[in-house]
Structure 1
Protein backbone atom coordinates (compact mmCIF):
# COMPACT_ATOMS: atom_id res chain seq x y z
CA UNK A 1 0.00 0.00 0.00
CA UNK A 2 2.85 2.38 0.88
CA UNK A 3 5.57 0.57 -1.07
CA UNK A 4 5.71 3.40 -3.64
CA UNK A 5 7.36 5.66 -1.04
CA UNK A 6 11.18 5.97 -0.82
CA UNK A 7 12.90 3.32 1.26
CA UNK A 8 14.24 5.66 3.95
CA UNK A 9 10.72 7.02 4.60
CA UNK A 10 9.35 3.50 4.85
CA UNK A 11 12.18 2.58 7.21
CA UNK A 12 11.30 5.45 9.57
CA UNK A 13 7.59 4.62 9.37
CA UNK A 14 7.94 0.85 9.88
CA UNK A 15 10.53 1.12 12.67
CA UNK A 16 8.37 3.70 14.46
CA UNK A 17 5.35 1.45 14.10
CA UNK A 18 7.22 -1.59 15.43
CA UNK A 19 8.67 0.36 18.38
CA UNK A 20 5.32 1.88 19.34
CA UNK A 21 3.52 -1.44 19.00
CA UNK A 22 6.16 -3.27 21.03
CA UNK A 23 6.39 -0.57 23.70
CA UNK A 24 2.62 -0.42 24.24
CA UNK A 25 2.25 -4.19 24.34
CA UNK A 26 5.28 -4.60 26.62
CA UNK A 27 3.93 -1.99 29.01
CA UNK A 28 0.51 -3.63 29.25
CA UNK A 29 1.92 -7.11 29.66
CA UNK A 30 4.53 -5.83 32.10
CA UNK A 31 1.84 -4.45 34.39
CA UNK A 32 -0.01 -7.76 34.33
CA UNK A 33 3.26 -9.62 34.87
CA UNK A 34 3.96 -7.62 38.02
CA UNK A 35 0.45 -8.39 39.25
CA UNK A 36 1.10 -12.08 38.62
CA UNK A 37 4.26 -11.78 40.69
CA UNK A 38 2.53 -9.98 43.56
CA UNK A 39 -0.76 -11.91 43.71
CA UNK A 40 -0.19 -15.51 44.87
CA UNK A 41 -3.69 -16.70 43.85
CA UNK A 42 -3.71 -19.33 41.10
CA UNK A 43 -7.11 -18.34 39.68
CA UNK A 44 -6.12 -14.68 39.39
CA UNK A 45 -2.79 -15.58 37.83
CA UNK A 46 -4.63 -17.74 35.31
CA UNK A 47 -6.85 -14.79 34.32
CA UNK A 48 -3.83 -12.49 34.07
CA UNK A 49 -2.02 -15.02 31.87
CA UNK A 50 -4.99 -15.06 29.51
CA UNK A 51 -4.93 -11.26 29.51
CA UNK A 52 -1.25 -11.30 28.56
CA UNK A 53 -2.06 -13.66 25.70
CA UNK A 54 -4.79 -11.36 24.36
CA UNK A 55 -2.37 -8.42 24.40
CA UNK A 56 0.25 -10.56 22.66
CA UNK A 57 -2.29 -11.29 19.93
CA UNK A 58 -2.60 -7.53 19.44
CA UNK A 59 1.18 -7.35 18.96
CA UNK A 60 0.99 -10.02 16.23
CA UNK A 61 -1.78 -8.08 14.48
CA UNK A 62 0.23 -4.85 14.66
CA UNK A 63 3.25 -6.51 13.07
CA UNK A 64 1.07 -8.04 10.34
CA UNK A 65 -0.39 -4.61 9.60
CA UNK A 66 3.10 -3.11 9.29
CA UNK A 67 4.15 -5.91 6.91
CA UNK A 68 1.17 -5.30 4.63
CA UNK A 69 1.27 -1.51 4.75
CA UNK A 70 4.94 -1.27 3.81
CA UNK A 71 5.44 -4.21 1.45
CA UNK A 72 3.75 -5.62 -1.61
CA UNK A 73 4.48 -9.28 -0.96
CA UNK A 74 3.76 -12.30 -3.12
CA UNK A 75 3.06 -15.26 -0.81
CA UNK A 76 3.79 -18.80 -1.94
CA UNK A 77 2.35 -21.07 0.74
CA UNK A 78 2.35 -24.86 0.59
CA UNK A 79 0.11 -25.93 3.47
CA UNK A 80 -1.20 -29.45 4.09
CA UNK A 81 -2.32 -28.90 7.70
CA UNK A 82 -5.64 -28.85 9.54
CA UNK A 83 -4.85 -26.96 12.73
CA UNK A 84 -6.83 -26.58 15.95
CA UNK A 85 -6.78 -23.10 17.45
CA UNK A 86 -7.78 -24.48 20.86
CA UNK A 87 -5.08 -27.15 21.15
CA UNK A 88 -1.40 -27.42 22.03
CA UNK A 89 1.16 -27.31 19.21
CA UNK A 90 4.92 -27.35 18.85
CA UNK A 91 6.13 -25.33 15.85
CA UNK A 92 9.65 -25.97 14.59
CA UNK A 93 11.16 -23.69 11.97
CA UNK A 94 14.42 -22.81 10.28
CA UNK A 95 15.75 -19.40 11.29
CA UNK A 96 16.75 -17.04 8.47
CA UNK A 97 16.05 -13.58 9.90
CA UNK A 98 14.30 -11.52 12.57
CA UNK A 99 11.56 -11.25 9.95
CA UNK A 100 10.74 -14.91 10.68
CA UNK A 101 9.01 -13.88 13.92
CA UNK A 102 6.75 -11.42 12.10
CA UNK A 103 5.88 -13.93 9.40
CA UNK A 104 5.14 -16.84 11.73
CA UNK A 105 2.96 -14.58 13.87
CA UNK A 106 1.10 -13.44 10.75
CA UNK A 107 0.63 -16.95 9.36
CA UNK A 108 -0.66 -18.55 12.56
CA UNK A 109 -2.25 -15.70 14.57
CA UNK A 110 -5.78 -16.81 13.63
CA UNK A 111 -5.02 -20.52 13.33
CA UNK A 112 -3.13 -21.40 16.51
CA UNK A 113 -3.02 -20.20 20.14
CA UNK A 114 -0.78 -17.21 20.86
CA UNK A 115 2.83 -18.35 20.32
CA UNK A 116 5.56 -18.61 22.94
CA UNK A 117 9.15 -18.47 21.70
CA UNK A 118 12.31 -20.06 23.05
CA UNK A 119 14.40 -16.93 23.66
CA UNK A 120 18.03 -16.17 24.36
CA UNK A 121 18.75 -15.29 27.99
CA UNK A 122 20.03 -11.82 26.99
CA UNK A 123 16.51 -10.71 26.00
CA UNK A 124 15.41 -11.00 29.63
CA UNK A 125 17.38 -7.82 30.39
CA UNK A 126 15.94 -5.70 27.55
CA UNK A 127 13.80 -2.96 29.18
CA UNK A 128 10.06 -3.70 29.07
CA UNK A 129 10.46 -6.47 26.47
CA UNK A 130 12.18 -8.84 28.90
CA UNK A 131 9.49 -8.33 31.56
CA UNK A 132 6.74 -8.83 28.97
CA UNK A 133 8.28 -12.07 27.73
CA UNK A 134 8.63 -13.25 31.33
CA UNK A 135 4.98 -12.39 31.92
CA UNK A 136 4.08 -14.54 28.91
CA UNK A 137 6.04 -17.46 30.48
CA UNK A 138 8.42 -17.68 27.53
CA UNK A 139 11.44 -19.94 28.11
CA UNK A 140 14.75 -18.08 28.31
CA UNK A 141 17.62 -20.28 27.13
CA UNK A 142 21.28 -19.65 27.94
CA UNK A 143 23.70 -21.30 25.52
CA UNK A 144 27.01 -22.34 27.07
CA UNK A 145 30.25 -22.67 25.15
CA UNK A 146 32.27 -25.87 25.19
CA UNK A 147 34.91 -24.12 27.31
CA UNK A 148 32.29 -23.06 29.89
CA UNK A 149 30.93 -26.60 30.12
CA UNK A 150 34.42 -28.06 30.55
CA UNK A 151 35.19 -25.53 33.27
CA UNK A 152 31.85 -26.04 35.06
CA UNK A 153 30.21 -29.42 34.20
CA UNK A 154 27.24 -28.53 36.45
CA UNK A 155 26.04 -26.20 33.68
CA UNK A 156 25.49 -29.15 31.33
CA UNK A 157 21.78 -29.68 30.78
CA UNK A 158 20.79 -26.52 32.65
CA UNK A 159 19.12 -24.97 29.58
CA UNK A 160 17.13 -28.17 29.12
CA UNK A 161 15.93 -27.97 32.72
CA UNK A 162 14.87 -24.37 32.06
CA UNK A 163 12.87 -25.53 29.05
CA UNK A 164 11.16 -28.20 31.13
CA UNK A 165 10.17 -25.77 33.88
CA UNK A 166 8.85 -23.19 31.40
CA UNK A 167 6.85 -25.68 29.36
CA UNK A 168 5.24 -27.07 32.51
CA UNK A 169 3.47 -23.68 32.85
CA UNK A 170 1.71 -24.25 29.52
CA UNK A 171 -0.39 -27.17 30.77
CA UNK A 172 -3.46 -25.11 31.71
CA UNK A 173 -3.89 -22.86 28.66
CA UNK A 174 -3.76 -23.93 24.97
CA UNK A 175 -0.36 -22.85 23.74
CA UNK A 176 1.82 -22.77 20.65
CA UNK A 177 5.49 -23.24 21.46
CA UNK A 178 7.77 -21.99 18.66
CA UNK A 179 11.29 -23.32 18.58
CA UNK A 180 13.92 -22.12 16.11
CA UNK A 181 15.79 -25.35 16.62
CA UNK A 182 19.03 -24.14 15.04
CA UNK A 183 19.45 -21.73 17.96
CA UNK A 184 20.75 -18.92 15.76
CA UNK A 185 19.99 -17.17 12.48
CA UNK A 186 21.50 -18.81 9.42
CA UNK A 187 24.39 -17.21 7.58
CA UNK A 188 26.91 -18.87 5.24
CA UNK A 189 29.67 -17.88 7.68
CA UNK A 190 27.91 -19.64 10.59
CA UNK A 191 27.35 -22.69 8.41
CA UNK A 192 31.07 -22.90 7.70
CA UNK A 193 32.04 -22.14 11.28
CA UNK A 194 29.76 -24.84 12.72
CA UNK A 195 30.52 -27.32 9.91
CA UNK A 196 26.83 -27.75 9.23
CA UNK A 197 26.10 -30.68 6.86
CA UNK A 198 23.30 -28.67 5.22
CA UNK A 199 23.53 -26.18 2.40
CA UNK A 200 20.85 -23.73 3.61
CA UNK A 201 20.55 -24.58 7.32
CA UNK A 202 22.50 -24.78 10.54
CA UNK A 203 22.64 -28.04 12.48
CA UNK A 204 19.52 -28.33 14.72
CA UNK A 205 19.91 -28.48 18.51
CA UNK A 206 17.63 -31.31 19.70
CA UNK A 207 17.84 -31.17 23.52
CA UNK A 208 15.44 -28.30 24.27
CA UNK A 209 12.93 -29.55 21.71
CA UNK A 210 13.03 -33.08 23.09
CA UNK A 211 12.54 -31.84 26.65
CA UNK A 212 9.56 -29.66 25.70
CA UNK A 213 7.88 -32.57 23.94
CA UNK A 214 8.62 -34.80 26.92
CA UNK A 215 6.98 -32.33 29.31
CA UNK A 216 3.89 -31.70 27.17
CA UNK A 217 4.04 -34.66 24.82
CA UNK A 218 0.56 -35.94 25.62
CA UNK A 219 -0.92 -32.46 25.24
CA UNK A 220 0.84 -31.55 22.02
CA UNK A 221 -1.59 -32.57 19.30
CA UNK A 222 1.06 -32.38 16.64
CA UNK A 223 4.37 -30.87 15.61
CA UNK A 224 3.97 -28.17 12.97
CA UNK A 225 7.02 -28.15 10.76
CA UNK A 226 7.57 -24.80 8.99
CA UNK A 227 10.18 -23.99 6.35
CA UNK A 228 10.68 -20.33 5.40
CA UNK A 229 12.53 -18.78 2.47
CA UNK A 230 12.99 -15.28 1.06
CA UNK A 231 14.00 -16.08 -2.55
CA UNK A 232 14.41 -12.44 -3.64
CA UNK A 233 15.73 -11.07 -0.33
CA UNK A 234 18.14 -13.67 1.03
CA UNK A 235 20.85 -11.22 2.06
CA UNK A 236 18.84 -8.86 4.31
CA UNK A 237 15.18 -9.94 4.61
CA UNK A 238 14.49 -7.99 7.83
CA UNK A 239 15.99 -4.77 6.48
CA UNK A 240 14.13 -5.25 3.21
CA UNK A 241 10.87 -5.81 5.08
CA UNK A 242 11.28 -2.53 6.96
CA UNK A 243 12.12 -0.60 3.78
CA UNK A 244 9.30 -2.02 1.64
CA UNK A 245 11.56 -4.18 -0.51
CA UNK A 246 10.33 -7.60 0.61
CA UNK A 247 8.78 -9.05 -2.53
CA UNK A 248 8.31 -12.80 -2.18
CA UNK A 249 7.92 -15.24 0.72
CA UNK A 250 7.91 -19.02 0.41
CA UNK A 251 6.41 -21.15 3.18
CA UNK A 252 6.03 -24.90 3.55
CA UNK A 253 3.87 -26.17 6.42
CA UNK A 254 3.31 -29.81 7.38
CA UNK A 255 2.06 -31.75 10.38
CA UNK A 256 4.13 -34.39 12.14
CA UNK A 257 2.29 -36.66 14.61
CA UNK A 258 3.78 -36.87 18.10
CA UNK A 259 4.70 -40.52 18.65
CA UNK A 260 7.11 -42.53 20.76
CA UNK A 261 9.87 -41.42 18.38
CA UNK A 262 9.61 -37.88 19.79
CA UNK A 263 8.44 -38.65 23.34
CA UNK A 264 11.03 -39.89 25.83
CA UNK A 265 13.77 -39.01 28.30
CA UNK A 266 16.45 -37.34 26.19
CA UNK A 267 18.88 -36.95 29.10
CA UNK A 268 18.78 -40.51 30.46
CA UNK A 269 17.60 -42.78 27.64
CA UNK A 270 20.52 -43.09 25.21
CA UNK A 271 18.69 -45.21 22.57
CA UNK A 272 15.85 -42.66 22.54
CA UNK A 273 18.39 -39.82 22.31
CA UNK A 274 20.01 -41.39 19.23
CA UNK A 275 16.62 -42.04 17.65
CA UNK A 276 15.43 -38.49 18.31
CA UNK A 277 18.60 -37.03 16.80
CA UNK A 278 18.16 -39.22 13.71
CA UNK A 279 14.52 -38.18 13.35
CA UNK A 280 15.34 -34.46 13.65
CA UNK A 281 18.25 -34.80 11.22
CA UNK A 282 15.82 -36.37 8.74
CA UNK A 283 13.42 -33.44 9.12
CA UNK A 284 16.28 -30.99 8.51
CA UNK A 285 17.48 -32.95 5.47
CA UNK A 286 14.01 -32.59 3.97
CA UNK A 287 14.00 -28.86 4.73
CA UNK A 288 17.38 -28.45 3.07
CA UNK A 289 16.12 -30.32 0.01
CA UNK A 290 13.06 -28.05 -0.22
CA UNK A 291 15.26 -24.96 -0.04
CA UNK A 292 17.66 -26.40 -2.58
CA UNK A 293 14.93 -27.22 -5.13
CA UNK A 294 12.78 -24.08 -4.84
Structure 2
Protein backbone atom coordinates (compact mmCIF):
# COMPACT_ATOMS: atom_id res chain seq x y z
CA UNK A 1 0.00 0.00 0.00
CA UNK A 2 1.42 3.49 -0.83
CA UNK A 3 2.66 5.30 2.26
CA UNK A 4 0.30 8.26 1.73
CA UNK A 5 -2.72 5.97 1.47
CA UNK A 6 -1.66 4.04 4.54
CA UNK A 7 -1.24 7.26 6.49
CA UNK A 8 -4.83 8.24 5.63
CA UNK A 9 -6.23 4.83 6.57
CA UNK A 10 -4.09 4.27 9.62
CA UNK A 11 -6.35 3.64 12.59
CA UNK A 12 -4.21 1.19 14.55
CA UNK A 13 -0.52 1.27 15.52
CA UNK A 14 1.93 -0.36 13.11
CA UNK A 15 4.91 -2.51 14.12
CA UNK A 16 7.63 -2.82 11.50
CA UNK A 17 9.47 -6.14 11.77
CA UNK A 18 13.01 -6.13 10.37
CA UNK A 19 14.61 -9.57 10.35
CA UNK A 20 17.24 -11.51 8.41
CA UNK A 21 16.32 -14.46 6.28
CA UNK A 22 13.88 -15.28 3.49
CA UNK A 23 10.21 -14.25 3.85
CA UNK A 24 8.59 -16.14 6.70
CA UNK A 25 11.87 -16.95 8.48
CA UNK A 26 11.26 -17.59 12.16
CA UNK A 27 7.55 -17.91 11.53
CA UNK A 28 6.72 -20.23 14.44
CA UNK A 29 8.65 -17.98 16.83
CA UNK A 30 6.45 -15.05 15.85
CA UNK A 31 3.60 -16.93 17.50
CA UNK A 32 5.39 -16.28 20.79
CA UNK A 33 5.71 -12.59 19.93
CA UNK A 34 2.00 -12.37 19.13
CA UNK A 35 1.20 -14.11 22.41
CA UNK A 36 3.22 -11.47 24.28
CA UNK A 37 1.43 -8.72 22.38
CA UNK A 38 -1.90 -10.27 23.34
CA UNK A 39 -0.85 -10.26 27.01
CA UNK A 40 -0.26 -6.53 26.63
CA UNK A 41 -3.67 -6.04 25.04
CA UNK A 42 -2.78 -6.03 21.34
CA UNK A 43 -4.05 -8.52 18.76
CA UNK A 44 -2.64 -8.55 15.23
CA UNK A 45 -5.32 -7.69 12.69
CA UNK A 46 -7.57 -6.11 15.30
CA UNK A 47 -5.84 -3.28 17.15
CA UNK A 48 -2.28 -3.58 15.84
CA UNK A 49 -0.71 -4.25 12.44
CA UNK A 50 2.62 -5.99 11.86
CA UNK A 51 4.49 -5.28 8.63
CA UNK A 52 7.14 -7.89 7.79
CA UNK A 53 10.43 -6.90 6.19
CA UNK A 54 12.99 -9.65 5.47
CA UNK A 55 16.65 -8.95 4.78
CA UNK A 56 18.59 -11.53 2.78
CA UNK A 57 21.80 -9.50 2.37
CA UNK A 58 23.60 -7.64 5.17
CA UNK A 59 24.63 -4.84 2.82
CA UNK A 60 20.93 -3.92 2.57
CA UNK A 61 20.42 -3.53 6.30
CA UNK A 62 21.07 0.21 6.61
CA UNK A 63 18.93 1.07 3.60
CA UNK A 64 16.03 -1.08 4.74
CA UNK A 65 16.21 0.31 8.27
CA UNK A 66 16.11 3.84 6.86
CA UNK A 67 13.12 2.94 4.66
CA UNK A 68 11.30 1.51 7.65
CA UNK A 69 11.91 4.66 9.69
CA UNK A 70 10.67 6.74 6.76
CA UNK A 71 7.44 4.77 6.57
CA UNK A 72 6.42 6.19 9.95
CA UNK A 73 5.84 2.92 11.79
CA UNK A 74 5.00 3.26 15.47
CA UNK A 75 7.58 0.72 16.61
CA UNK A 76 10.40 -1.30 15.06
CA UNK A 77 11.01 -4.91 16.08
CA UNK A 78 14.65 -5.63 15.23
CA UNK A 79 15.74 -9.28 15.10
CA UNK A 80 19.48 -10.07 15.61
CA UNK A 81 22.35 -7.80 16.61
CA UNK A 82 23.26 -6.47 13.13
CA UNK A 83 19.64 -5.55 12.41
CA UNK A 84 19.29 -3.78 15.77
CA UNK A 85 22.49 -1.83 15.17
CA UNK A 86 21.28 -0.77 11.71
CA UNK A 87 17.91 0.28 13.12
CA UNK A 88 19.55 2.30 15.87
CA UNK A 89 21.71 4.02 13.26
CA UNK A 90 18.61 4.93 11.26
CA UNK A 91 16.75 6.77 14.03
CA UNK A 92 17.18 8.08 17.55
CA UNK A 93 13.46 8.73 18.01
CA UNK A 94 11.40 5.81 16.63
CA UNK A 95 10.75 3.38 19.50
CA UNK A 96 12.47 0.02 19.01
CA UNK A 97 12.38 -3.40 20.65
CA UNK A 98 15.22 -5.76 19.79
CA UNK A 99 15.71 -9.51 19.99
CA UNK A 100 19.42 -10.33 19.92
CA UNK A 101 21.92 -12.97 20.96
CA UNK A 102 24.84 -10.79 22.02
CA UNK A 103 25.69 -8.26 24.72
CA UNK A 104 23.76 -5.04 23.96
CA UNK A 105 26.07 -2.97 26.13
CA UNK A 106 29.25 -4.25 24.48
CA UNK A 107 27.59 -3.87 21.06
CA UNK A 108 26.77 -0.24 21.78
CA UNK A 109 23.01 -0.68 21.57
CA UNK A 110 22.24 0.48 25.11
CA UNK A 111 24.00 2.32 27.92
CA UNK A 112 23.28 -0.43 30.45
CA UNK A 113 20.92 -3.36 30.92
CA UNK A 114 19.07 -1.70 33.79
CA UNK A 115 18.84 1.73 32.15
CA UNK A 116 18.98 1.32 28.37
CA UNK A 117 18.61 5.02 27.61
CA UNK A 118 17.69 6.27 24.16
CA UNK A 119 14.85 4.87 22.08
CA UNK A 120 15.35 1.12 22.32
CA UNK A 121 15.22 -1.84 24.66
CA UNK A 122 14.49 -5.52 24.28
CA UNK A 123 15.60 -9.06 24.96
CA UNK A 124 19.09 -10.55 24.78
CA UNK A 125 19.88 -14.24 24.92
CA UNK A 126 23.58 -13.83 25.82
CA UNK A 127 24.13 -16.95 23.69
CA UNK A 128 27.93 -16.87 23.85
CA UNK A 129 27.86 -17.06 27.63
CA UNK A 130 26.38 -20.56 27.47
CA UNK A 131 29.16 -22.21 25.45
CA UNK A 132 31.12 -23.18 28.61
CA UNK A 133 27.97 -24.88 29.91
CA UNK A 134 27.63 -26.71 26.59
CA UNK A 135 31.22 -27.85 26.93
CA UNK A 136 30.42 -29.21 30.37
CA UNK A 137 27.35 -31.09 29.09
CA UNK A 138 29.26 -32.53 26.14
CA UNK A 139 32.06 -33.70 28.43
CA UNK A 140 29.49 -35.44 30.58
CA UNK A 141 27.99 -37.12 27.54
CA UNK A 142 31.36 -38.06 25.99
CA UNK A 143 33.67 -38.40 29.04
CA UNK A 144 36.44 -40.05 27.00
CA UNK A 145 36.84 -36.97 24.77
CA UNK A 146 40.23 -35.37 25.25
CA UNK A 147 39.85 -32.91 22.37
CA UNK A 148 36.65 -30.97 21.60
CA UNK A 149 36.13 -28.57 18.70
CA UNK A 150 34.19 -25.30 18.65
CA UNK A 151 32.79 -24.64 15.17
CA UNK A 152 32.60 -20.89 14.51
CA UNK A 153 31.72 -18.72 11.54
CA UNK A 154 34.55 -16.21 10.93
CA UNK A 155 32.17 -14.12 8.80
CA UNK A 156 29.72 -13.59 11.65
CA UNK A 157 28.75 -9.89 11.59
CA UNK A 158 29.83 -9.73 15.24
CA UNK A 159 33.21 -11.27 14.53
CA UNK A 160 34.84 -8.96 17.04
CA UNK A 161 33.51 -11.19 19.78
CA UNK A 162 35.71 -14.11 18.66
CA UNK A 163 38.71 -13.38 20.95
CA UNK A 164 36.42 -13.15 23.98
CA UNK A 165 34.67 -16.41 23.08
CA UNK A 166 37.98 -18.19 22.52
CA UNK A 167 39.44 -16.97 25.82
CA UNK A 168 36.41 -18.05 27.87
CA UNK A 169 36.19 -21.40 26.13
CA UNK A 170 39.89 -22.17 26.51
CA UNK A 171 39.53 -21.46 30.23
CA UNK A 172 36.50 -23.76 30.47
CA UNK A 173 38.33 -26.49 28.52
CA UNK A 174 41.34 -26.34 30.83
CA UNK A 175 39.03 -26.69 33.81
CA UNK A 176 37.61 -29.88 32.28
CA UNK A 177 41.03 -31.21 31.31
CA UNK A 178 40.32 -31.23 27.55
CA UNK A 179 41.92 -29.56 24.56
CA UNK A 180 39.78 -27.07 22.64
CA UNK A 181 40.27 -26.62 18.91
CA UNK A 182 38.67 -23.64 17.14
CA UNK A 183 37.42 -24.67 13.71
CA UNK A 184 36.24 -22.08 11.15
CA UNK A 185 33.52 -22.57 8.54
CA UNK A 186 31.70 -19.88 6.56
CA UNK A 187 30.13 -21.85 3.69
CA UNK A 188 28.48 -25.20 3.03
CA UNK A 189 31.68 -26.62 1.55
CA UNK A 190 33.74 -25.39 4.51
CA UNK A 191 31.32 -27.07 6.91
CA UNK A 192 31.75 -30.30 4.96
CA UNK A 193 35.54 -29.98 5.10
CA UNK A 194 35.53 -29.08 8.80
CA UNK A 195 33.63 -32.22 9.81
CA UNK A 196 35.71 -34.43 7.51
CA UNK A 197 38.89 -33.16 9.19
CA UNK A 198 37.75 -33.64 12.81
CA UNK A 199 38.69 -37.34 13.19
CA UNK A 200 42.20 -36.65 11.91
CA UNK A 201 42.59 -33.98 14.59
CA UNK A 202 41.64 -36.52 17.28
CA UNK A 203 38.49 -34.50 17.99
CA UNK A 204 35.82 -36.63 19.64
CA UNK A 205 33.03 -34.04 19.95
CA UNK A 206 32.06 -30.60 18.68
CA UNK A 207 30.20 -27.53 19.93
CA UNK A 208 28.28 -25.55 17.31
CA UNK A 209 28.60 -21.83 18.01
CA UNK A 210 25.60 -19.51 18.11
CA UNK A 211 25.30 -18.32 14.52
CA UNK A 212 22.42 -17.60 12.15
CA UNK A 213 24.21 -19.16 9.17
CA UNK A 214 24.72 -22.41 11.10
CA UNK A 215 21.04 -22.39 12.03
CA UNK A 216 20.15 -22.20 8.36
CA UNK A 217 22.45 -25.18 7.73
CA UNK A 218 21.16 -27.25 10.65
CA UNK A 219 20.06 -30.17 8.44
CA UNK A 220 23.52 -30.34 6.84
CA UNK A 221 25.35 -30.04 10.16
CA UNK A 222 23.24 -32.68 11.94
CA UNK A 223 23.71 -35.07 8.99
CA UNK A 224 27.49 -34.52 8.92
CA UNK A 225 27.79 -35.09 12.67
CA UNK A 226 25.97 -38.40 12.24
CA UNK A 227 27.96 -39.43 9.14
CA UNK A 228 31.32 -38.78 10.82
CA UNK A 229 30.15 -40.18 14.19
CA UNK A 230 30.99 -36.93 16.00
CA UNK A 231 28.72 -36.08 18.96
CA UNK A 232 27.68 -32.43 18.72
CA UNK A 233 25.88 -30.00 20.98
CA UNK A 234 23.82 -27.12 19.63
CA UNK A 235 22.27 -23.91 20.90
CA UNK A 236 18.69 -24.47 19.69
CA UNK A 237 16.31 -27.44 19.84
CA UNK A 238 15.65 -27.18 16.09
CA UNK A 239 19.07 -28.75 15.47
CA UNK A 240 18.03 -31.73 17.58
CA UNK A 241 14.68 -31.93 15.82
CA UNK A 242 16.70 -32.11 12.58
CA UNK A 243 18.53 -35.19 13.88
CA UNK A 244 21.19 -33.61 16.08
CA UNK A 245 22.25 -35.11 19.40
CA UNK A 246 21.73 -32.51 22.12
CA UNK A 247 21.01 -28.81 22.57
CA UNK A 248 21.15 -26.40 25.46
CA UNK A 249 20.04 -22.82 25.30
CA UNK A 250 17.34 -20.29 26.03
CA UNK A 251 13.77 -20.93 25.03
CA UNK A 252 13.44 -18.80 21.90
CA UNK A 253 9.64 -19.01 22.04
CA UNK A 254 9.61 -17.64 25.60
CA UNK A 255 12.07 -14.90 24.68
CA UNK A 256 9.98 -13.85 21.68
CA UNK A 257 6.99 -13.70 24.01
CA UNK A 258 8.95 -11.36 26.30
CA UNK A 259 9.69 -9.16 23.30
CA UNK A 260 5.98 -9.11 22.46
CA UNK A 261 5.06 -7.97 25.95
CA UNK A 262 7.64 -5.19 25.71
CA UNK A 263 6.34 -4.12 22.30
CA UNK A 264 2.85 -3.88 23.75
CA UNK A 265 4.06 -1.80 26.66
CA UNK A 266 5.86 0.61 24.35
CA UNK A 267 2.78 0.94 22.11
CA UNK A 268 0.86 1.68 25.29
CA UNK A 269 3.06 4.66 26.05
CA UNK A 270 5.94 3.31 28.12
CA UNK A 271 9.31 4.72 27.05
CA UNK A 272 11.86 2.10 25.94
CA UNK A 273 14.45 3.80 28.15
CA UNK A 274 12.30 2.92 31.18
CA UNK A 275 12.25 -0.81 30.38
CA UNK A 276 15.39 -2.74 31.43
CA UNK A 277 16.82 -5.14 28.88
CA UNK A 278 15.49 -8.63 29.60
CA UNK A 279 17.58 -11.78 29.80
CA UNK A 280 16.44 -15.39 29.23
CA UNK A 281 13.68 -16.52 31.54
CA UNK A 282 13.88 -20.19 30.59
CA UNK A 283 16.58 -22.59 29.37
CA UNK A 284 15.98 -25.86 27.54
CA UNK A 285 17.97 -29.09 27.48
CA UNK A 286 16.85 -31.30 24.59
CA UNK A 287 18.26 -34.78 23.89
CA UNK A 288 17.76 -36.98 20.84
CA UNK A 289 17.81 -40.54 22.22
CA UNK A 290 17.76 -42.05 18.72
CA UNK A 291 20.84 -40.05 17.71
CA UNK A 292 22.62 -41.05 20.92
CA UNK A 293 21.93 -44.73 20.24
CA UNK A 294 23.22 -44.40 16.67
CA UNK A 295 26.45 -42.89 18.04
CA UNK A 296 26.80 -45.68 20.59
CA UNK A 297 26.44 -43.29 23.51
CA UNK A 298 24.90 -44.11 26.87
CA UNK A 299 23.19 -40.95 28.05
CA UNK A 300 23.77 -40.54 31.80
CA UNK A 301 20.54 -40.87 33.80
CA UNK A 302 21.26 -37.48 35.39
CA UNK A 303 21.08 -35.82 31.95
CA UNK A 304 17.90 -37.67 31.01
CA UNK A 305 16.32 -36.68 34.30
CA UNK A 306 17.07 -32.99 33.80
CA UNK A 307 16.17 -32.85 30.10
CA UNK A 308 13.20 -30.70 29.17
CA UNK A 309 12.53 -32.90 26.15
CA UNK A 310 13.78 -36.29 25.00
CA UNK A 311 13.20 -37.08 21.34
CA UNK A 312 12.83 -40.83 20.85
TM-score with structure 2 length normalisation? 0.28
Q: Comparing both chains, which one has the higher relative contact order based on Cα–Cα distances under 8 Å and sequence gaps of 6 or more?
A: 1
Of the two, which has the highest radius of gyration? 2
TM-score with structure 1 length normalisation? 0.29
